[in-house]
Amino acid sequence: MVETTSSVTKAESTPKTKHFKSRKRQKKIGKIITYILLIAISIILISPLLWMVFTSLKPMNEIVKYPPTFFPESIEWSNYTTTVNAFPFFHYMKNTLFITFFVVLGNVVSNSFIAYGFAKISFPGKNVLFSLVLATMMVPGFVTMIPQYILFTKLGWVGTYLPLIVPSFFGSAFNIFLMRQFYMSINNELIEAAQIDGANHIYIWSHLMIPLTKPALITIGIQSFNGAWNDFLGPLLYIHDEDMYTLQIGLQTFQNQSTTQWNYLMAGATLVMIPTVLLFFFAQKYFIEGMDLTGGSKG
Amino acid sequence: MATTSTSKQNKKKRWTKKQKKDAWWGLLFVSPFIIGFLIFMLGPMLFSFIGSFTNYNLTSRMEFIGLANFKRMFTQDELFWKSLYNTAYYVILNVPLTAVGSVLLAVLLNQRMRGISIFRTIFYLPAILSGVAVYVLWMQLLSPTSGLINTVLSWFNIQGPAWLFDPVWTKPALILMKLWSVGGAMLLYLATLQNVPKQLYESAEIDGASSFKRFYHITLPMITPIIFYDVITSTIGAFQIFQEAYVMTDSGKGGPANSLLFYNLHMWNKAFVAFDMGYAMAMSMILFIIVLVLTFVNLKLAPRWVHYS
């Protein structure tokens, strides 16, 4: 691969020989090749999304045309109103937002709370317990899914949103890890000073730590919004009443009903993707921090 | 801070008291995790373990039938082997391809060039998209006659395959879809690459090392810990493949010639369509063992190729 990480100043300090000149040209060519590669890959990666939007705007006669064209010849905005009416989009959106709100709340509060214990309080068995947190990442969800379903059946929670919401209030390994990393960057003296002033850990957590860890909380909030908004497996397993469907289940049902009416299907897919894409463009920083294993050091 | 005024003796005495108190506070703070672990993970796993030796069907029946579920799985259920084959096929291709793809993209992005952050955004965007909308989009992209992929192939006079309708091409189609979102792992690599000391490259360049040599001898060793982490998590992730196949095969029917009947899809059908829960729990135990063994093998092999600085 082409690598141009070296600095120009260093190269200039070497004597200007023929060898140096050829290397400079080589570097320029390398840069051009890199740009060509970057642009080509960008086109490949972005064209599915453009194609989706373009297809969603095509009238039916263009959809059935062979071979298909990339750009729509005429734009049919009414595809969107047709789609929104074909499956109760806004009703499903309301359901999805309801679940998402509580999942985000649960994730932000519980992981912040749990990670404070792991990062800032010393107690016997802490390291063993934290290893257990990390070990839970290695257990595939399908291993616990069936007994969980049985448990929720016995509790009478199947057919309600509770199985989708309640587990998020007990923390999740990756987020505990992420929050703990962030807490580690906060000076302990702050906590000690507050304790001398008579504050207990609950007070310190809720009044001092939550404001200080805001970037990490936003990261977790955004990640869990995305997770809940796009969750298909949970609602598929637990929600059977059509009135309670989420957007993901609604879109899947819509797909089953209108197999090749691609303009409507692409309009539906576009509408469902919009919140994630908007969130991504306005809060990209937090998406990237959510991926960063070593991160959280920028307090 | 304010503590400096108290004498050393006092401080020591207060610490031990504080330690005791702290133990209770610590347990209080981590208690949601402990409770959640017991209810949603350890309890279910124990139940699955016991349930795998029964003929439980969610209503009343729960008799011990010994190893009958496992015997049936290994000797009578052809779909079990089919689903295991499909999953192995997917894991073996998906894990290395995404690892190589994301490393290459990260290396390409790890340069001081104008506009590089725009490319980073574009490369990462598909990775944040997930769920049914993505699957529906790809069903259209992969459509044999009206899809984007075969349309582009036809510009070069190539007759594209029938993708999701041809048992030979269904799994490659899915792997292709997954490759679209390599941006997630790419960011992990990129963050590590940006921590590689620049002097290393500079001195290597002065010594006349080619860019391939620099990649092989400097970049690659530096990112092996991340490759290791990525391979472990993406192997576990790849074994979870379910939603894609469920949506793309008409609510879990398995696709042409059951070519998309993945392990979890088969388990799902047994558990929630046939309500053969004892059998499905036995399947989940086998899945757990497979993942456990693979993770263990990964851990054992790690010292041979992972460099820790």
Q: In the structure encoding, which two tokens stand for residue B288, read together? A: 């757990």
- In chain B, domain spans: 2-51, 72-305
The residue to which tokens 């890199």 are assigned: A34
| A13 Cβ under 8 Å from any chain B Cβ | no
Residues 6+ apart with CB under 8 A from A201: A116, A120, A121, B25, B28, B29
Distance CA A54, CA A50 (A): 6
> Angle of helix B220-239 relative to helix B277-305, nearest 10 degrees?
170
Instruction: Give chain A positions within 8 Å (CB) of B108.
Output: 1-2, 34, 37-38, 41
Please report the residues numbered 52 through 81 in chain A whose beta carbons come closer than 8 angstroms to any beta carbon of chain B. 52, 55, 63-64, 66-68, 70
pLDDT tens-place string over residues B145-177 = 889 999 999 999 999 999 999 999 999 999 999
Mean per-residue pLDDT over chain A, rounded: 88
Say what percent of chain A tops pLDDT 90: 74
The residue to which tokens 């679940």 are assigned: A99
- In this complex, do B23 and A41 lie within 8 Å of one another by their Cβ atoms? no
Q: In the structure encoding, which two tokens stand for residue A20, read together? A: 């140096």
Q: In the structure encoding, which two tokens stand for residue A244, read together? A: 């309670």
| B227 Cβ under 8 Å from any chain A Cβ | no
Mean per-residue pLDDT over chain B, rounded: 90
Confidence of residue B93 (pLDDT cuts 50, 70, 90): very high
Rounded to a whole number, what is the distance in angstroms from the first to the last CA of chain A? 35
- In this complex, do B272 and A52 lie within 8 Å of one another by their Cβ atoms? no
Residues 6+ apart with CB under 8 A from A290: A178, A219, A220, A222, A223
Q: Classify A69 in phi/psi space as left (phi over 0), alpha (psi -120 to 50) or beta.
A: beta
Distances (CA, A) of B128 to A95, A227, B20, B192, B194: 22, 10, 45, 20, 22
> Angle of helix B277-305 relative to helix B68-75, nearest 10 degrees?
70
Cβ-based burial of A132 (10 A; exposed 0-12, middle 13-18, buried ≥19): middle
For each of the domains in chain A, give its residue range(s) and CATH number, in order of start.
8-81 (no CATH), 84-291 (1.10.3720.10)
| B296 Cβ under 8 Å from any chain A Cβ | no
- In this complex, do B288 and A122 lie within 8 Å of one another by their Cβ atoms? no
What pTM was computed for the model? 0.88
ω into B197 cis (within 30 of 0): no
pLDDT tens-place string over residues B55-69 = 998 887 789 999 999
In this structure, which CATH number among 3.30.70.120, 1.10.3720.10, 1.20.1580.10, 3.40.50.300 belongs to the domain B72-305? 1.10.3720.10
| B55 Cβ under 8 Å from any chain A Cβ | no
Asked if the model's pLDDT at residue A161 lies above 80, the reply is yes
Q: Are B141 and B147 in contact (CB under 8 A)?
A: yes
Distance CA B286, CA B72 (A): 13
* Per-residue pLDDT at A15: 52
Distance CA A40, CA A30 (A): 15
CA distance B195 to chain A (A): 11
Residues 6+ apart with CB under 8 A from A51: A70, B140, B141, B148
Confidence of residue A25 (pLDDT cuts 50, 70, 90): confident
- In this complex, do B40 and A148 lie within 8 Å of one another by their Cβ atoms? yes
Please report the residues numbered 120 through 159 in chain A whose beta carbons come closer than 8 angstroms to any beta carbon of chain B. 121-124, 126, 129, 132-133, 136-151, 153
* Per-residue pLDDT at B2: 42
Which amino acid makes up residue A222?
A: I
What are the backbone angles phi and psi of residue B100, rounded to the nearest 5°?
Answer: -65, -45
Query: Mutate which of B1, B5, B15, B25 to disrupt the A interface (most A C-beta within 10 Å)?
Result: B25
- For residue A230, give the 3-state DSSP assignment: coil
Which amino acid makes up residue A120?
A: K
Q: In the structure encoding, which two tokens stand for residue B76, read together? A: 């009578």
Asked if the model's pLDDT at residue B7 lies above 50, the reply is no
Confidence of residue A1 (pLDDT cuts 50, 70, 90): very low
